[in-house]
Amino acid sequence: MQDLYKFENYVHPEFYKKLLDLKELGENPYDIKSFEKTDIIQIRQEAEVELGKSYKTAGRVKAIRRHGKAMFFDIEDSTGKIQIYLKADVVGKDKYKFIADHMKVGDIVGVEGETFITRTGELSIQTKYIMFLSKVLRPLPEKWHGLKDAEIRYRQRYLDLLVNKEVFNNFKKRFEMQWETRSFMAEWGFIEVETPILQPIAGGAAAKPFVTYHNFLELELFLRIAPELYLKRLLVGGFEKVFEMGRVFRNENISNRHNPEFTMLEAYAAYKDYTYMMQLTETLIATLAEKIRGSFKIPFVKEENGKRIEYEVDLTPPFQVKTYLEVASEAAGEEITEETPNDKLIDIAKQMEIELTGNESWGELVELIYSEGEKGITQPTFIIDYPIDISPLAKRKTEKLTERFELIINGWELANAFSELNDPEDQFNRFMQQLERAGVDKDRDFHRFDADYVLALCYAMPPAAGLGIGIDRLAALINGLSSIKEVILFPTIKPQINLKLEEDKEVDAGA
């Protein structure tokens, strides 16, 4: 048998001693089941009007200042922080000494007492009664510099949340933003639905899926890379405005704007086209900026050649609109139109030192050139009318272009939307083209053929518009952060602490 006290230095001996003392006196903090508490924010608000009122409150001890026979300490709950004053005169000599000897920064305590203002003007609680509600057995990260090590911040996010207040607030805002998004969508007449995460065909995007297996069906399944094709089946089924906000999974690399699992908002509206979705997107983002951040202007800092550059992203609507070919033309330095032949595009790409496989289609060539231009877009810009061969689910606009837009902000793709292709024959052919392309270019991902989806279209899907928004990216943007890791509570990270109990190790060795 192992015990926690000896397990991997999990427990600090001095801290553990305090807990043992408590238990010996019959005051095991872990026996406490509940505690009637007033939120600190409420105490603060009421103290503006009336002092001397008695409260019970609780929170985590964040700082202790001992002064012999009296002590100050700060406790914090999810609503705020307040100073607690504890005097031997008031609580009794023995009780005071016991608390003073056993309280550590990080403990969770419950107190009862009256509000008053100290000589230095700090609102405090004159404690009459105090108890430990939980004991900390390891020291918290440093109070002044906080926790900076990115690895520990992600692996032990609870510590990050605990000691870095702005991190805590960023997450609070992220989830407020999601709530506001749901309420916005409801106001626009959309209802929230849920569609499969386990899918037999990972459709709706071109990305590598995670693979899993259902034992009883003896079936290989994929974690969804997008909910798109299921949501559009609902349009066939008679739903007119639906949205889903949920996790999607892509088996790809991790970066400041990519996580293997991320949150996507997808919305579909029957009888609308992509201009409607542009309007919705713009209004949604402006609404969120106003409600969550209270401003359209978001300051950012970046480094270029070792220089710190401060700049501002302005979310004030209306957003700029540019065509895909305009951006490609700007990047190329000469005009690219639908008539520009492949040979010419190859020349341009080579001049721009873009690597080619030689297998690219017209749209893929334009895409490579366009990508160079996209990076420089900082202010919100709708890029419209994408090449058809890279948009196999979008409705045709011209021979080579589709009614599709993406919203680029701060160099990031925030949203992707189109007038949905509802012609089953065209859809069938587009899927076939994707299959062909996949046969030629083995390195890229293409949309997978989904015959069942084509079958659904054969029952008539109304004309419709669809939208996808990267919620993590949006949350990072609105909070002025340059990595989605700052708004994903537990970003995907390789496990490092892989501890097993000795018994398990032996079992493993034997197996």
Q: Can you give the binding site for RNA, defined by CB under 7 A?
A: 14, 18, 63-70, 72, 74, 83, 85, 87-89, 104-105, 116, 118-122, 124, 138-139, 141-152, 154, 205-207, 225, 250, 252-256, 258, 355, 386, 406, 413, 416, 443-445, 468, 470, 483, 485, 491, 493-494, 496
466, 267 Cβ separation under 8 angstroms: yes
Question: Which of 72/449 has CB closer to RNA?
Answer: 72
Please return the burial class of 201, using the count of CB atoms within 10 Å of its CB with bins 0-12, 13-18 and 19+: middle
Q: How many other CB atoms are found less than 10 A from the CB of residue 152?
A: 13
Dihedral sign, Cα of residue 177, residue 182, residue 187, residue 190: positive
**Smallest separation, CB 19 to RNA (Å):** 12
**Smallest separation, CB 115 to RNA (Å):** 12
Question: Which of 92/237 has CB closer to RNA?
Answer: 92
**Smallest separation, CB 141 to RNA (Å):** 4
Question: Which of 215/253 has CB closer to RNA?
Answer: 253
Question: Which of 63/186 has CB closer to RNA?
Answer: 63
**Smallest separation, CB 206 to RNA (Å):** 4
**Smallest separation, CB 33 to RNA (Å):** 27
* 261 strand-pairing partners: 249
Q: How many other CB atoms are found less than 10 A from the CB of residue 88?
A: 17
Question: Which of 121/510 has CB closer to RNA?
Answer: 121
Q: Which two tokens stand for residue 216?
A: 């009883």
Look at residues 44, 62, 61 and name the one whose alpha carbon lies nearest to residue 53: 44
Sheet of 241-249: strand order equals 191-192, 241-249, 261-270, 464-470, 412-419, 404-409, 381-384, 320-323
Q: How many other CB atoms are found less than 10 A from the CB of residue 264?
A: 23
CA 265/CA 226 separation, integer angstroms: 10
CA 426/CA 345 separation, integer angstroms: 26
Question: Which of 110/209 has CB closer to RNA?
Answer: 209
**Smallest separation, CB 129 to RNA (Å):** 17
Question: Which of 66/172 has CB closer to RNA?
Answer: 66
**Smallest separation, CB 320 to RNA (Å):** 17
Residue type, 237: G
Beta strand pairing call for 191-192 and 241-249: parallel
3-state secondary structure (DSSP) of residue 493: coil
**Smallest separation, CB 87 to RNA (Å):** 4
Look at residues 459, 471, 468, 405 and name the one whose alpha carbon lies nearest to residue 427: 459
276, 465 Cβ separation under 8 angstroms: yes
Q: Which residue has the tokens 């334009």?
A: 366
Question: Which of 256/378 has CB closer to RNA?
Answer: 256
**Smallest separation, CB 503 to RNA (Å):** 20
Question: Which of 33/308 has CB closer to RNA?
Answer: 308
**Smallest separation, CB 65 to RNA (Å):** 4
Question: Which of 142/425 has CB closer to RNA?
Answer: 142
One-character DSSP codes across 103-171: --TT-EEEEEEEEEE-TTS-EEEEEEEEEEEE---SPPSPTTT----HHHHHHTHHHHHHH-HHHHHHH
481, 170 Cβ separation under 8 angstroms: yes
CA 431/CA 425 separation, integer angstroms: 10
**Smallest separation, CB 71 to RNA (Å):** 8
Q: Which residue has the tokens 């238990």?
A: 23
